[in-house]
């Protein structure tokens, strides 16, 4: 499977690890660690050495309850990082934003993928994405970050998420975005209870079966913490368990803060899968 993104094609025939760089003061796990351009790029280069094959850069926290930031602040956080990283590496760069203006500037600075938690729902976002030629990651979210965890409800979380993503795909394709430019993200932790998250994860193959690369981002999230009752900095083992299962269920991209360990988990899982047939039975 080849993903068309701007001027390159990304081979997704094997699962890729996406390293997270939050150039923010308030992200739930690593807020404040990469506020300077130099530190953010240093962190990204370290992730690349550890095996990351995509770097995702964001300048606005989307944790539950997070406040929005101004366009100027977000641009000042992410554009210098993208430019400097692009000058030092040819790695595919993803911009994590909901703002069309940031999308446009980020791709012009060297980004290849637009990763939007609102699935290009802001006015003008689909048009900007189409014009940019970048790949797009369409994520499901119920509500907004400020209120999404207050009382999320679904008829059937798997069906509801799939139907939402189908609608967003249709809108993108109608606007001229190629089907080979689209990634899907079920949006674990975005307007979902712990039960919703695990029901959706257990049926991840139903999202994979839609025929598009699927990104899974569960690194250090509360869906892990609520099960093992441990703080953010002690959720690595739980995150690796979910990452391995995501690979088994067919995920194409694993988004993580913990690149080295996640790369190891993914490699071992992919090796094991060589010895299983399509029904999950050992050969």
DSSP string over 172-229 = HHHHT--GGGEEEE--TTSS--HHHHHHHHHTHHHHHTTSS-BEEE-TT-HHHHHHHT
pLDDT per residue as tens digits for the range 90-139: 999 999 999 999 999 999 999 999 999 999 999 999 999 999 999 999 99
Q: Is the pLDDT of residue 279 over 60?
A: no
255 is a catalytic site residue:
yes
pLDDT for the residue numbered 28: 46
Q: Could you tell me which residues come within 8 angstroms of residue 48 by beta carbon, excluding any fewer than 6 positions away?
A: 19, 55, 89, 91
pLDDT value at residue 24: 78
Which residues have CB under 8 Å from 151's CB, separation 6+?
none
Answer with the residue of higher pLDDT: 64 or 184: 184
pLDDT digits (tens, 9 = 90+) for 196-234: 999 999 999 999 999 999 999 999 999 999 999 999 999
Selecting among 86, 221, 267, 274, the annotated active-site residue is: 221
192 is catalytic: no
For residue 144, what pLDDT is reported?
A: 73
pTM: 0.92
147 contacts 176 by C-beta, under 8 angstroms: no
Choosing from 168, 192, 220, 255, which is the catalytic residue? 255
């Amino acid at each position: 499977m080849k993903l068309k993104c701007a001027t390159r094609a990304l081979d997704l025939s094997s699962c890729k690890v996406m390293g997270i760089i939050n150039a923010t003061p308030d992200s739930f796990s690593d807020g404040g660690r990469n506020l300077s351009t130099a530190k953010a790029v240093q962190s990204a280069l370290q992730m690349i050495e550890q095996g990351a094959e995509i770097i995702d850069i964001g300048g606005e926290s989307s944790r539950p309850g997070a406040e929005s930031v101004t366009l100027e602040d977000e641009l000042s956080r992410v554009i210098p990082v993208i430019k400097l990283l692009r000058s030092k590496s040819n790695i595919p760069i993803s911009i994590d934003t909901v703002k069309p203006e940031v999308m446009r500037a980020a791709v012009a600075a060297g980004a290849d993928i637009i990763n939007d938690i609102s699935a290009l729902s802001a006015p003008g976002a689909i048009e900007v994405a189409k014009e940019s030629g970048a790949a797009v990651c369409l994520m499901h979210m119920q509500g907004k970050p400020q209120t999404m965890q207050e009382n999320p409800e679904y008829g059937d979380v798997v069906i509801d998420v799939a139907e939402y993503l189908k609608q967003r795909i249709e809108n993108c394709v109608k606007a001229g975005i190629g089907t080979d430019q689209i990634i899907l993200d079920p949006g674990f932790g975005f307007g979902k209870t712990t039960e919703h998250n695990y029901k959706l994860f257990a049926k991840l193959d139903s999202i994979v079966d839609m025929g598009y690369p699927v990104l899974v981002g569960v690194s250090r999230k509360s869906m892990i913490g609520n099960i093992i009752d441990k703080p953010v900095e002690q959720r690595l083992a739980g995150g690796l368990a979910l990452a391995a299962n995501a690979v088994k269920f067919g995920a194409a991209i694993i988004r993580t803060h913990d690149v080295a360990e996640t790369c190891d988990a993914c490699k071992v899982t992919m090796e094991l899968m060589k010895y299983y047939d399509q029904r999950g039975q050992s050969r």
